[in-house]
Chains A and B, each alone.
Chain A
């Protein structure tokens, strides 16, 4: 595992700071072994993973999934990591065959490019769904939506369902227009934006923050924050979490095999990478996958329409 970490760190050092080069490929990044099972290397497919916090972390989490899919389907899955905003080009130009990213992007590409939704990641208290929260420090005295007026707020990335969309919609639904009623709002620079939102509130730079429930729970679990310091002003309804999908041009039989493999994974499933045994779900911080049910995404589609967001944006 150490060897993998060193190789990944080197990859990130070499490529991480150039936007043009942020799409990293597993086939060139490090060696993936296929000793245990026969994998057809002659006609590889590509799966694109959305960068969550950083290229390094994303690669460490998701490279084993690509290897798992290779072993279970018998076809080589090479992995690419890319930023949210880079995926549209990758998908339109058919540079990837499979997708893993947040559910807002999944909906967008489902609508625009007929991408087929396969499975949803299971993680945290709400399984394959998650929520967005609006947080403040208890000591701030902010207790209700009305108290948000004239406050400084920090959101997560604009393409984050549980770090921007959910909270923006919550506020509008509760009589607060972020554009007119807040004194100021901003989105942090750079990587690890959800962490920065929570720290931004904790250290008093902002009065209120828009944070995914999963990140709040994780930081509390890791002892980075104490939930007794915070108050949750509002929490969205549950919506589908990150999604695996097959692009319209992808082999249908292969997509079905991949879906079955993901749905059947257990905590004990391992892959060999650089000669070391890696537990796939543990590495990915996941509890498994649930089948993607299209109608469960309707709640998000309706919010995206309400907020005039792509792919429903009108000018």
Chain B
């Protein structure tokens, strides 16, 4: 009887040790997210990092290679596994072929183009338009979505399922509010509060 209590006690201790700490463990996976140089990118990158870590146990490292093209290049070279891109920016890369009036159609064309040309997969858009400039204004923006490669999504089988939970969860007003709050508080705390309020972590 005493032995069983000892085992139960040790188990409880182990359990609380295992779950109480969010530090990264020995047997862990690492995902590198390339972040662009605009305020909305910084907020969404931190949000993704926390969401993925909390929900899948995968650690997420943020790198800042520079502009969007540099982020895309980092993913192409597997120096990063994920970046955040704007449909409008990708549309401009393709040229006239992608010009239609319907945002969903444009997204579909861009998504297919990236899959065919770069083996990259566009996940679901967050819901707001960007990019923001230094004054947090958006001019002629378009929807933003995470982009990865098919190889990465095969290696991380639940990644797309978890990331797509942010689909349409952050609209224009929300991102403006989160960016504003991040000026006075640590952005990590800001996104944590947001995800908790949505019961996503």
List residues of A whose CB falls within 8 A of some B CB: 16-17, 19, 22, 51, 54-55, 83, 85, 88, 158-159, 164, 179, 183-193, 196, 199-200, 202-203, 205, 222-224, 309-311, 313, 315
Partner of B161, one of A179, A189, A191: A179
Contacts of B4 in A (CB 8 A): 223
Q: Are A190 and B7 in contact (CB under 8 A)?
A: no
Contacts of B158 in A (CB 8 A): 158, 164, 187
Contacts of A224 in B (CB 8 A): 7-8, 11
List residues of B whose CB falls within 8 A of some A CB: 3-4, 7-8, 11-12, 14-16, 18-19, 22, 24-30, 54-57, 115, 121, 150, 153-158, 161, 165, 199-200
Q: Are A186 and B26 in contact (CB under 8 A)?
A: no
Q: Are B26 and A159 in contact (CB under 8 A)?
A: no
- Knowing A222-B7, A223-B3, A309-B157, the reply to whether A190 touches B25 (Cβ < 8 A) is yes
Complex: A164 Cα to B199 Cα, angstroms: 22
Q: Which residue of A lies closest to B25 (CB)?
A: A190
- Output the least CB separation between B29 and chain A (Å): 6
Q: Are A190 and B155 in contact (CB under 8 A)?
A: no
- Knowing A203-B12, A223-B4, the reply to whether A187 touches B26 (Cβ < 8 A) is no
Partner of B19, one of A88, A185, A200, A223: A200
- Output the least CB separation between B82 and chain A (Å): 15
Query: Which secondary structure dominates where chain B touches chain A?
Result: helix
Contacts of B154 in A (CB 8 A): 310-311, 313
Complex: A51 Cα to B115 Cα, angstroms: 33
Contacts of A199 in B (CB 8 A): 11, 14-15, 18
- Output the least CB separation between B151 and chain A (Å): 9
Partner of A16, one of B15, B26, B121, B156: B26
- Output the least CB separation between A157 and chain B (Å): 8
Complex: A184 Cα to B56 Cα, angstroms: 12
Contacts of A17 in B (CB 8 A): 26
Partner of A223, one of B7, B18, B22, B150: B7
Q: Are B15 and A203 in contact (CB under 8 A)?
A: yes
Complex: A191 Cα to B28 Cα, angstroms: 8
Q: Are A159 and B14 in contact (CB under 8 A)?
A: no
- Knowing A187-B158, A199-B18, the reply to whether A315 touches B27 (Cβ < 8 A) is no
Q: Are A188 and B199 in contact (CB under 8 A)?
A: no
Q: Are B115 and A190 in contact (CB under 8 A)?
A: no
- Output the least CB separation between A22 and chain B (Å): 7
- Output the least CB separation between B156 and chain A (Å): 7
Partner of A85, one of B12, B29, B153: B29
Contacts of A203 in B (CB 8 A): 12, 15-16
Q: Which residue of B lies closest to A152 (CB)?
A: B199
Complex: A313 Cα to B12 Cα, angstroms: 39
- Output the least CB separation between B32 and chain A (Å): 12
Partner of A205, one of B19, B54, B157: B19
Q: Are B199 and A184 in contact (CB under 8 A)?
A: yes
Instruction: List, sorted by A's number, 14 A–B pairs whose CB atoms are closer than 8 Å.
Output: A22-B27, A88-B155, A158-B158, A159-B157, A179-B161, A186-B57, A187-B55, A188-B18, A189-B18, A190-B25, A193-B57, A199-B11, A200-B15, A313-B154
Q: Are B15 and A189 in contact (CB under 8 A)?
A: no
- Output the least CB separation between A261 and chain B (Å): 30
Contacts of B14 in A (CB 8 A): 199
Q: Which residue of A lies closest to B122 (CB)?
A: A315
Q: Are B25 and A19 in contact (CB under 8 A)?
A: no
Q: Are B28 and A189 in contact (CB under 8 A)?
A: yes
Residue from A179, A189, A196, A199 with most neighbouring chain B CB atoms (10 Å):
A189
Contacts of B19 in A (CB 8 A): 188, 196, 200, 205
